[in-house]
Structure 1
Amino acid sequence: MEASAECIYCIVNKADKLFCEFIDDEKGRIEFAKEILKEVSSYDNATAPFLNARVMQILKKWTNIEDLYLEEKQLYNKRMILLQQDIMDNINNSDDKLLSALRYAIAGNFIDFGAMDEVDDDLLDEIIEAASTQKIDTNLYAKFKEEILNAKQLCYLVDNAGEIVFDKLFVKSIKEMNKNIEINIVVRGKPVLNDVTKKDAQEVGIDIYGAIVENGTDIPGTDLSKINDKTKDIMDSSDLIIAKGQGNFETLWGCGKNVYYLFLCKCGTFTKKFSIPKYKGVFVHEVH
């Protein structure tokens, strides 16, 4: 999915704000702006996640900070862990545990410092509270549930820190439904935005339910031309793939694999594409 003008503006604007947050140097800011604009304009038909990675690499060079969102990732992992038991209780008390966990997994996608400058905690609470009312296509869910029941291997592509606590509960529900399923949990190979790295995933204990696999890149998505061979092999051998977040949709949609996408629409590009209001959830399937 090629980056739109709106996406490119968002990437450049975010990089500029981050530069100003870490560096007080107006002359340097001008040079930085020239460098990232030159970088962005040097690619044709690139996805927004790919361009974001390139711009963030330049910002890391200027700031000399490898993990720009380390504090935010740790903060939201801790905050969501505090909610973990209450959410698990709601899932266990629901009529369909898998469906309830899926809805919470979508709600957790709100914790995204890539699509947004800040996470509105009050709105986050509202979205979590309303998770059980998230509309899910009944026919698609029935197909998904059947595939989960029969699958031997699942590839779960995670997205953001904080959100991964909800992924943990979703994966737990999947394992309870299909005790023999092998789950590989794919994380970013290097820090980018507030996307999950191996360390972030281990912090919340999701590795209890599956093997954590680093994909070898700092792209906030899953670019099949850039990820490592291990991740490619896992994706190819899995019966189905669950892909969390807009970035995974942008980089994978149209790939022809058996992918179920889960995310919230957090920007105009996606609200237009799916004709739904901002912060509403999406659960769609890659027809292959």
Structure 2
Amino acid sequence: MKLHLDCIVCFQKQALFATKDLDESLRAKILKKVMLFLCNADWETSPDELANEVHFIIREVSGLSDPYKEVKERSNRIALEMCPELKEILDREKFENRLYTAAKLAIAGNIIDFGPSNEFDLKNTVNEVMNKDLAIDNFDSLKKKIVSSERLLYFADNAGEIVFDRIFIEEMLRTRDRPFKQISFVVKSGPIINDTMLEDACNVGIDKLPNVKFLEISNGEKNSAPSRRSDEVRRYINEHDIVISKGQGNFEGLSEFHNIFFMLMAKCNIIAKELGVDIGSSVIKYKK
């Protein structure tokens, strides 16, 4: 996905939010360095690649190794506290409708995002998503793949959201009535915004899923892990029967690949326009 001018403004807002607890002089220093980088950057680069650089600057200048650590821990805790309520929603459904409901819940969890916005109402979002049709609904194709496939590749997005992802994968297993031979759960190799890292995934029980292994993609730091656009990530995709990509960042970085189900909420006008939907829409989009 190509960079849009609105992304430049969004990066500056992210820098301000990430440093909100620092003194004003340090925040100003960080923001100036971010702005200088953006002025000199190649604007033909994808937004996810620029985001990596912006947040590297924030970490480097602030001295904070993970500015969103407390935010991620709180997000996981809030989502875990909602588990009984989410499972009650599933238990009200007939068996044949449970997987679709779990998929919509996984999309609702995508609202936990401190990139485009730091203001959201999780419970209200769950209610809204449950009561609205998907703007793009390729669920039938997704269900067929879930039932027939043996190797699942799942690109995680944000902390907190991964609780909803765990419930969705558990429901896949219930629908299949057998485990996948392999679940490859993709996390970030290092901190960037509130994106999921290995520690976050293990804290909500993703590591307890049957036949799960973790793969890492880069947060932009050199020699950390393969980037989303790398040949190695292309190989991950080719080696799995079904590929699910959660969230806007993964959509930005993986939209040029094929055989991927994109599941997300369109939380900014750029992503909404790219998908051809309204802001706030929920989407299951299969790119063949």
Structure 2 length as normaliser, TM-score?
Answer: 0.88
Helix, strand or coil at the partner of 2:55: helix
5+ residue gaps, structure 1, are: none
CA distance in 2, matches of 1:145, 1:42: 41
* Cross-structure match for 1:129: 127
* Cross-structure match for 2:192: 192
Out of 237, 243, 248, the position equivalent to 2:250 is: 248
Pick closer, same or farther for the CA change 1:137–1:266 going to 2, 3 Å.
closer
* Cross-structure match for 2:157: 159
**1:103 touches 1:134 (CA, 8 Å); kept in 2?**
no
Helix, strand or coil at the partner of 1:21: coil
Which segment drifts farther, 87-96 or 143-152? 87-96
Q: CA deviation at 1:214?
A: 3.7
Q: CA deviation at 1:193?
A: 0.4
**1:263 touches 1:282 (CA, 8 Å); kept in 2?**
yes
Deviation string, structure 1 residues 137-173 (Cα, Å, up to 9, x no partner): 7972222111111101010101001111100000101
* Cross-structure match for 2:241: 239
Deviation string, structure 1 residues 14-50 (Cα, Å, up to 9, x no partner): 214434532331xx55543443233233224211111
Deviation string, structure 1 residues 96-138 (Cα, Å, up to 9, x no partner): 111010000000000000111x233xx3211112332242479
**2:99 touches 2:172 (CA, 8 Å); kept in 1?**
yes
* Cross-structure match for 1:218: 219
* Cross-structure match for 2:111: 110
CA distance in 2, matches of 1:110, 1:151: 28
Helix, strand or coil at the partner of 2:82: helix
- Is 2:62 the counterpart of 1:58? no
Pick closer, same or farther for the CA change 1:214–1:183 going to 2, 3 Å.
closer
CA distance in 1, matches of 2:23, 2:230: 31
Helix, strand or coil at the partner of 1:213: strand
CA distance in 2, matches of 1:168, 1:76: 14
CA distance in 2, matches of 1:17, 1:103: 29
**1:149 touches 1:177 (CA, 8 Å); kept in 2?**
yes
* Cross-structure match for 1:260: 261
Structure 1 length as normaliser, TM-score?
Answer: 0.88
**1:109 touches 1:163 (CA, 8 Å); kept in 2?**
yes
CA distance in 2, matches of 1:33, 1:69: 17
Deviation string, structure 1 residues 81-100 (Cα, Å, up to 9, x no partner): 11112211221331311101
CA distance in 1, matches of 2:81, 2:28: 42
CA distance in 2, matches of 1:139, 1:10: 28
**1:243 touches 1:261 (CA, 8 Å); kept in 2?**
yes
Deviation string, structure 1 residues 218-262 (Cα, Å, up to 9, x no partner): 15xx943358x4x5543220012100001111111121x210001
1:48 is aligned with what amino acid?
A: P
* Cross-structure match for 1:81: 80
* Cross-structure match for 2:45: 46
Helix, strand or coil at the partner of 1:194: coil
2:47 is aligned with what amino acid?
A: A
Pick closer, same or farther for the CA change 1:278–1:137 going to 2, 3 Å.
closer
Identical columns (%): 25
